Amino acid sequence: MTTKTRFPAVSRILHWTMAAMIVAMLFIGVGMAASVSSRYELLVAIHRPLGIAIFVLCLIRIVNRFINPPPELPDTLPSLQRIAAKASHFTLYALMFIMPLVGWGMLSAASYPIVLYGPLRLPPILPHDLTLYAWLRDLHTGLAYLFFATILAHFGAALFHGLIRRDGVLKSMAS
C-alpha cells in the first residue's frame, strides 16, 4: 500500500478525535435543549468549551488538509457517489466551522457571559440584539439537525464503502 491510499496519521487522529467530540456535542446539545433536570447545568457547562475546542481543531484541520491532502477516491466510484462524497465532506467542514461561531455569536447577541471554565470567558463577537439572537438561536438548532443528518449519512456511506463496495475508502481512514 502506498501512502496515497491512506490518510496520514495526523489526519486520522484529527478525524477520530473530532468525530467523538462532535457526536458528543450533538447529543449534549439535543439533550440540554430538552432538559429541565439538574443535568442541564452540567450539559451547558460542557457544551460551551467543547464547541470552542471543536472550532480550534477545525482550523487546525483545514490547515492540515492543505498540508496533507486526502487520498483520491477510487476511479471505480460512480460520479453520483463521487459528487455525494465531495458535497457531504464540504458540508461537514462548513458545519464544524460555522456551528461554534453561530453558538458564540448567539450567546453574544443574547448578552450572556460566554463562560469557558472558571474565570475564563470569551468576549462577545456580536452586539446585544434580541432579533439577532432569535435568528441565530433558530439557525443553531437548524444547523445542528443538518449536522446530525450529514454525519449519519457519512457514517452510512463509510459502512457502505467498507462492507459493500470494499474499495479501500473506509480503510483509508479506519486502519
Partner 1 sequence: MMTRRCLLSTAGLGGLASRGSSTRDGNEAGLNMLNMKSFWLGAGPVSNAAVIVRLGAIGAAMLSVAGAFAYVGGWLSPARLTQDRMMAAFRDANGTHAGFRRNHAKGVCVSGWFESSGQAAALSKAAVFRPGRVPVVGRFALAGGMPFQTDAPAKVRSMALRFVLPGGKEWRTGMNNIPVFPVNSARGFYDQLLASSPDPATGKPDPARMKAFLAAHPETARALALIKKRQVTSGFANSTFNSLNAFRFVDAAGVSVPVRWSMVPVQPVAAASAEPSAAGDKNYLFDDLIAQIAQHPQQWRLIVTIGQADDPTNDATLPWPAGRRQVDAGTLTIDHASSEDGGPCTDVNYDPLVLPPGIEPSDDPLLSARSAAYRRSFKLRAEEDHEKPPSAVTAQEVQAGGKS
What residues make contact with partner 1 under the rule CB under 8 A? 26-27, 30-41, 44, 76, 78, 80-81, 84, 110-114, 118-119, 121, 123-124, 128-131, 133-134, 137-138, 148, 152-153, 155-157, 159-160, 163-167
Residue 1 or residue 9: which is nearer to partner 1 going by CB? Answer: 1
CB of 170 to partner 1, least distance (A): 12
Residue 57 or residue 153: which is nearer to partner 1 going by CB? Answer: 153
Residue 8 or residue 143: which is nearer to partner 1 going by CB? Answer: 143
Q: Which of 96, 111, 109 is CA-nearest to residue 135?
A: 109
Q: CB–CB of 68/8 below 8 Å?
A: yes
Residue 27 or residue 90: which is nearer to partner 1 going by CB? Answer: 27
CB of 8 to partner 1, least distance (A): 25
CA dihedral 142, 20, 71, 158 (to 10 degrees): -70
Instruction: Return the axis-axis angle of helices 79-110 and 39-67, rounded to nearest 10°.
Output: 130
CB of 34 to partner 1, least distance (A): 4
CB of 10 to partner 1, least distance (A): 27
Fill in the amino acid letter for 53.
A
**83 CB neighbour count, 10 Å cutoff:** 11
CB of 100 to partner 1, least distance (A): 18
Helix (H), strand (E) at residue 164: none
Q: CB–CB of 47/28 below 8 Å?
A: yes
CA dihedral 8, 87, 133, 138 (to 10 degrees): -120
Residue 60 or residue 72: which is nearer to partner 1 going by CB? Answer: 72
In sequence order, the β-bridge partners of residue 115 are: 121
Residue 10 or residue 152: which is nearer to partner 1 going by CB? Answer: 152
